[in-house]
Structure formats: C-alpha cells, structure tokens
A and B are shown apart, each in its own frame.
Chain A
Amino acid sequence: MQILKKTNLKAFEKAKKLGPEGVISLIKEKGLAGRGGAGFPTGTKWEMVRNAEADERYVICNADEGEPGTFKDRMIIEKNPETLIEGILIASYAVGAKKAFIYLRGEYTCLKSKLNKKIKEVLSKAKSDLKIEIFVGAGAYVCGEETAILASIEGKRGHPKVRPPYPTTYGLFGKPTVINNVETLTNVPLAVMFDDWNKDTRLHCISGDVEKPGVYEAPLGEKLSQAIERAKPKGKPKAVYFGCFGGCMPYEKFRDLELRPEKVCEGECMLGSCTMIVVSEKRSIVDVATNIAKFYEFESCGKCTPCREGTMRVLAMLQNISVGDAKPEDIDTLQELAEVIKETSFCGLGQTATSHLINALKFFRKDFEDRIKK
C-alpha cells in the first residue's frame, strides 16, 4: 500500500531545503487534496494560513474519524505513525506553526500512549522544536466537523460555528489554523518524497455483510462492483451505503458505476472518504434506515431545531413503519420531513442526516410499502 510507505524524515529534510513557499508549491503541483471528503486542495489551504496575518498559527490533525464504517485512520495510526507525524512537521514548517494538535477521537484512546512515544522519537530525530499535543475527544460524531473540533479544543461544547470566517484565517483561539485529516497528512511526506506518488489512490473501508471487511487500496474511478467483490460479499448485495451520511444505492443497478466523487454524486450519493457498507439482499432497507436514524438522533448536537427535532421525528416515524403501525400517507410525510431537514439544517451533519432515507425511499420504496398496515 502506498499509504504505508516510510519516508524516515527524508521528506522533511527535502522540505527544509525547498523552503516554506517551495513546499507549498510542490504540494500544489502534486495535486494533493483533502481526503476527508470535501477534497479541498491542501497546498492552497496551507497558503491561505501562511499568508494570513497573525503572530501565531496552528496545525490540527483531524483524527476524529467518526463516520460509521470508517477505520482507515486507525490503520494508519497503528501502522505508519512516523509518516503521519512527519506530515504534521512539514505542514507546520510550511505555514509557520510552532504548535500542532492531533485531535484523536475518544474511541481511539488506546492508541494514545504509543502515538505519544512515536511523536517524541520523531521530533527528537528531526531536531525540531515543534510541539505536538494529542487532544483526546470524548465521543461526539459532530466533532469531525472542523469548527466543532475548534470548539472542543477550546473547552466548549463541540458545536459547529458559522463559516466564514474560515479556520484558515480565524481558527483555534482566533488564530489561522490548518485542519487536515490523518490520511491527507500522511500523504504529505509521500508526495514530497516520491516521484511516482499517485494522487489518485484511495483507501476504501468496506464492511457490513461481507466475508472480508477491511481497508483496501484502489485507484480512483474503479467500478463499484470491483471494489465490493474484493471484500467477498455474503450472499447477493442489495445496497451499498457510503457511510451513514453518503446515502445508499442499489447494487445491481449501479454495479458499473465509477467511484469518483462527481460520478457518485450523479447517482445521488456522496463518496466522501470512500466508506462502503454492504447490505445483503436478505435484509429490509426499513431496518437499516431505522438503525441509521437512531445514530443521527443520538449524534445530533442539538444546536439547531430542524436537525435536533427532525432526527427525533424521523426515528419515531421509521419505528412506526417497522412495526407495521403506519398508514400509506406516512411515507410521503416522512419523505417531506427528510427533505426539510436536509434543506434547513445548520451544519453538514443535519444536511446529510437524511440522504440515506431520501435515497432509500427512491430506490427501495417497496420495502417501506410492504410494512404498511393493509
């Protein structure tokens, strides 16, 4: 796997020779883009922070992968922490930060002490006086949102904030801040170091109704069926969920779909960070939808009304449908509610909380109708 290659601080040495501006233009040239899902060009982000006027700047490594079905950050932190730390070193050098944070999700607390040891090792080997602090989250999905991370580190409830101002100019404690995720930062030294570094390699996390769940490396644009077959589906796959937020699509109909953000969007899903949860044909989508609705009802941070109240109502209605207690018109009401939540929620969590349901009602409506009281 490309992501597991080591650079042994040689990339950092090279970066220092290039100078901050040099590294930034190299990263831009190589075309590294954020791997969290939004795909913002990394070099451009760094440049914005570097050029923002301030006496202090920060780098935050987002290690709060909370999207259900996603576990590649865990793999990287376990298997290639050196390269991740080197990526943080290079980012901090490029933007002129003296302090960096790794926002580690609470569920990964068990990785903390090993990672801390590695940080010490790498920093002393690099003779760098950068400070890298691990900040452990405490279990909140919304903290994957970058402004919520900032609030969480600043000792507040992890509520998202209005953007703009963006963290690149007004971030942690009001200072310009780079926020990159684990996969992005680990790619930094690899991009700096290797001429054959491929920007179009993606890590797929595949789980659910499969024999071989795991992290797989694949080229961007691979067919959906190729990706799913690799994990050996149990029985015939009925649907693929792109995490909870990315929505779902029927497998047979879209088996030849190319896995590229643009293409998947046309199929009305979001590829995000390439998480795929396989659901086999023996299941009813109503049950999966109810399970996901529970997740969102629990994780809604409560700041805005459509998401806080809406996710609760969606769950209640789905539970009604699953026990066969709903009337035909309830399906239409559910659909309308799902769309209102999508349109009116404040942050990404609420805006995507019902995409799975909207798709499910479009592609698997029969599953819902089958549970309606006759």
Chain B
Amino acid sequence: MEDKEAYPDCLGLLPKLEKEQAKKGWISEQALKRISKETGIPISRVYGVATFYAHLHTEKQGKYIIEICNSPSCYLNSSLNLIKFIEKELKIKSGQTTKNGKFSIHICSCIGCCDKAPAMMINKKVYGNLTEEKVKKILKKCR
C-alpha cells in the first residue's frame, strides 16, 4: 500500500541538492551522481527529486538567477511589463541565460510578497515594489 523504501539518508537529500544549487548555481550530472553515492539513494530518484522543484536547476544557470513573480497580485500590478522590460534589458527570454553567463530569467509563482507587488527574487533575495528604474539599478549592481 505505502512505499516504505526508506534510504539511510533520505532526510538529507533535498538539503544536499539545495546546498549544491546554492553553491554552484545548478546541479550537474556529476553532482547528481555524487549525491546518489553519498546518500545511497538511486540516481533515478535523485534526478526525479532534482527535477521536481522549481528552484533546483539541472541545466547550467547564470550567476544571478532572477525569478519574477507573475501570480495574480503581481500580474495586476503590471508584472508582465516588468518581465518584458527585464527581457529587453538582458536581451534574453524567460527560461534563458545570457551569453556571458551572468543572468538567467525565470517566471515564478507567488513569492509571498504580494503586498509589495510586483516582486522578484535574485538568488533568493527578495525585491518588491518594483519599477523599471528600480530594476535597472538592481541589475546594474549585479553587473
């Protein structure tokens, strides 16, 4: 009825993947294999978990991962214009990474800052009440 497959370190799997994500900005095939070995969890399941979550990336990302919220409260506060603006500034589309490997853009679900909509995160740091000028300044600081 219930799958009881308890691996010795299943509790550590997601934290390990997150740590790798935070350190390297993405999780490579090599890293997946290493984590599988460390935890004793089959690679298939490690890969399954890594591809389930929006914040874990199994493809190489830019140094700065920009996640812009497009859920209703942000949408009602012009998040679409903002997304277009950032895409134009960085000359890439959402889901892509700049050639110099600096930035990746992703559209994401609500980040719990709807009282400061529109909002985004860059490498997990939250920025709210965004305007084009504000975004320009923030991006400049990253460059």
Contact = CB atoms under 8 A, between A and B. Distances in A.
Interface of A: 65-71, 73-74, 105-110, 135-141, 152-158, 161, 165, 170, 173-174, 205, 207-209, 213-215, 241, 244, 277, 279, 283, 288, 291-292, 294-295, 298-299, 301
A138 B10 contact: no
Nearest to A231: B115
A137 B55 CA distance: 9
Given A107-B126, A156-B49, A215-B115, 5 more contacts: A74-B112, A106-B124, A137-B53, A213-B116, A288-B76
B45 A65 contact: no
Contact of A208 (B70, B73, B108, B111): B73
B71 A138 contact: no
Nearest to B79: A291
A288 B72 contact: yes
A71 B114 CA distance: 7
B115 A156 contact: no
Contacts of B13: 155
Contacts of B41: 155
A299 B109 contact: yes
Contact of B14 (A105, A138, A241, A283): A138
A291 B72 contact: yes
12 contacts: A68-B109, A107-B111, A138-B17, A138-B54, A154-B10, A158-B52, A173-B6, A207-B115, A213-B116, A283-B76, A291-B75, A295-B109
Given A69-B110, A71-B114, A277 B72 contact: yes
Contacts of B55: 106, 138-139
Give the one of A70, A156, A277, A298 with max B CB within 10 A: A156
Contacts of B112: 65-66, 70-71, 73-74, 105, 107-108
Give the one of A73, A241, A277 with max B CB within 10 A: A277
B72 A157 contact: no
A105 B4 CA distance: 25
Contacts of A277: 72-73, 76, 114
A332 B15 CA distance: 46
A136 B15 contact: yes
B53 A158 contact: yes
B12 A155 contact: yes
B14 A155 contact: yes
A109 B121 CA distance: 11
Contact of B54 (A110, A139, A207): A139
Nearest to A101: B11
Interface in B69-83: 70-73, 75-77
A227 to B, nearest CB: 15
B45 A139 contact: no
A44 B143 CA distance: 55
B78 to A, nearest CB: 11
A71 B124 contact: no
B114 A66 contact: no
Interface string B94-132: 000000000000001111111111000100111000000
Contact of B114 (A68, A106, A138, A158): A68
Give the one of A67, A138, A213 with max B CB within 10 A: A138
A301 B75 CA distance: 23
Given A138-B56, A156-B49, A205-B114, A174 B4 contact: yes
A158 B48 CA distance: 10
